[in-house]
Each structure stands twice: as structure tokens, then as C-alpha cells.
Amino acid sequence: MMQASRHFAKGVQRVVLADMLSRSVHTKVDLLKMIGLAFEQPLQAQAQGSKSDHKASNPMEFFNALEKAGLKPDTNAYKQLLGHYSTQGDAKSAISVFNKLKEQEIPDDHTYHTLLVACVNGRDQASAFKFLKQMKKDGITPRLESYNYVLSGYTEDGNIEDAMKIFNKMQKANVRTYNLLMAICFNGKQPEKAMTYWKEMEKVGLTPDLESYNTLLSRGGPSQIIDLTGILGASLAAAKTE
């Protein structure tokens, strides 16, 4: 059944491409829906754990074939393809699609966010950082969710320096932001700095959540656990007086 689906998808590609070439028209919405059949199947195959099926039908190759034939897919088609690569964490392909999309229009904040997710999921933090700055050059203010997602990419290696560059440009932050900063500092071997963000979080009026406490318990050392005990004790005492 899987093999039959692959043959059907390839057959659709040939038919659609031949039809486009014979009429020499630009890509239409209805044809794009047909093209969609060519890369829906690889998504289903991957959900079933098959990597070879994903490689057998690369949607980007088909889009490139259309462009070589002088048929340029519209922005909706590129956005769909960008979302596909973002989900896969294929930063290189996502950037390629994004650049083609940008030739037609200035991407909006949602499109940029999709690209940032692709870069972070693909462990390409340098590109994520670059495109975060590019957003402002295009007159788009990054959403808080975008900032946080890029920050999350620095957690594993504890890259405090680059994380601070991003945080200093943020106009606002939430509890998730501070939780990420604490995790980054702990992994960057600066536990004292992590605790300063806990204090700053409370100072600006944000209430630590379960993730905040778990970050201290799972990543902090003995001194941070002692601090956490004191924090909990103070919280319980304040609750009794209310």
C-alpha cells in the first residue's frame, strides 16, 4: 500500500508538471493542492517511523523543478513547505524555502517564528540568532514566544553570553523566560547568576511556577537547594498571615 501511494504521488507530480508546462501558466491554488499530495505522503511515512520513504520524495526538489520550468509557486505554497521543514527540524531546507518566500514578500511574524523554530529544532542557533535580528530590520517586532524559543536553544550548552544578548533586547519577559535563563546559567556553571534571575523574577512581580522550582531542584547545587528551602519557608509564612 505504501509503495502504491509513492507511485501515485510521483504520478501526480508528472501529470501536474506536464499540465503546467503545456499551458505555460503560473501556479494556481487548485494545482498547489494537487502538488500537496506529493509531500503529504512522506509526512505520513515518517509518522510510521520510515526514514527511507521521506528521502524518496523530497518536496523541495519538486518545487525547484517548477521554478526551472518558469512556474513560481505562490507564498502560501512556500509557507506550507516551510512549516513542513520546521516540524522536521530541517534548518537548512527551511532557510532555503524562507529565502524564496522573501523574494515575493516580506515575511510576517508568524513566518519568521516558524523559521526560528526550524533553526532551533535543527540546532542551528547561529541562524536563529541572525534571523531574530533580521526581523527588526524588516520592521517586525519579535513576539515573546519567539524570543523564548530561541533562548531555549541555549539551555543545553549553557551559552550564557548569547542568551544575555537576546534577553537584553527583550522589552518584556514572562516566567518562562526566567526559567530558561536560570537553566542556561546552571548549565553554564554559574549557579549564583541563576539565583539572581529568580530574585529578579519576583522583583518584577512574576510568580515562580512548577517549572521554576523543578529547575532549581534538578539543576541547582546544595547552596541553591538551601535557598529554595528558605524561599518555600518564606512563602508558607506569608500564606499563613494572609
User: pLDDT of 80-89, one tens digit each?
Assistant: 889 989 999 9
Which of 24, 46, 73 finishes a domain?
73
* pLDDT of 96: 92
* pLDDT of 3: 52
Residue 204 lies in a domain: yes
Average pLDDT, the chain: 77
* pLDDT of 239: 44
Nearest to 58 by CA among 84, 26, 86: 84
Residue 231 lies in a domain: yes
Residue 148 lies in a domain: no
Q: What is the pLDDT of residues 101-160, one digit of tens each?
A: 998 888 999 999 999 999 999 999 999 999 999 998 999 999 999 999 999 999 999 999
Q: What is the pLDDT of residues 153-204, one digit of tens each?
A: 999 999 999 999 999 999 999 999 999 999 999 999 999 999 999 999 999 9
Residue 156 lies in a domain: no
Which of 73, 105, 121 finishes a domain?
73
* pLDDT of 221: 66
Contacts of 103 (CB under 8 A, 6+ apart): none
**What residue type is assigned to position 39 of the chain?**
F
Residue 40 lies in a domain: yes
Domain count, the chain: 2
pLDDT band at residue 34 using 50, 70 and 90 as cut-offs: very low
Residue 113 lies in a domain: no
Which of 33, 50, 73 finishes a domain?
73
Give the per-residue SS3 of the chain.
Answer: CHHHHHHHHHHHHHHHHHHHHHHCCCCCHHHHHHHHHHHHHHHHHHHCCCHHHHHHCCHHHHHHHHHHCCCCCCHHHHHHHHHHHHHHCCHHHHHHHHHHHHCCCCCCHHHHHHHHHHHHHCCCHHHHHHHHHHHHHCCCCCCHHHHHHHHHCCCCCCCHHHHHHHHCCCCCCCHHHHHHHHHHHHHCCCHHHHHHHHHHHHHCCCCCCHHHHHHHHHHCCHHHHHHHHHHHHHHHHHHHHC
Residue 117 lies in a domain: no
Q: Which domain holds residue 192?
A: 173-242
Residue 119 lies in a domain: no
Backbone phi and psi for residue 120, each to the nearest 5 degrees, phi listed first: -65, -45
Average pLDDT of the segment spanning 17-41: 46
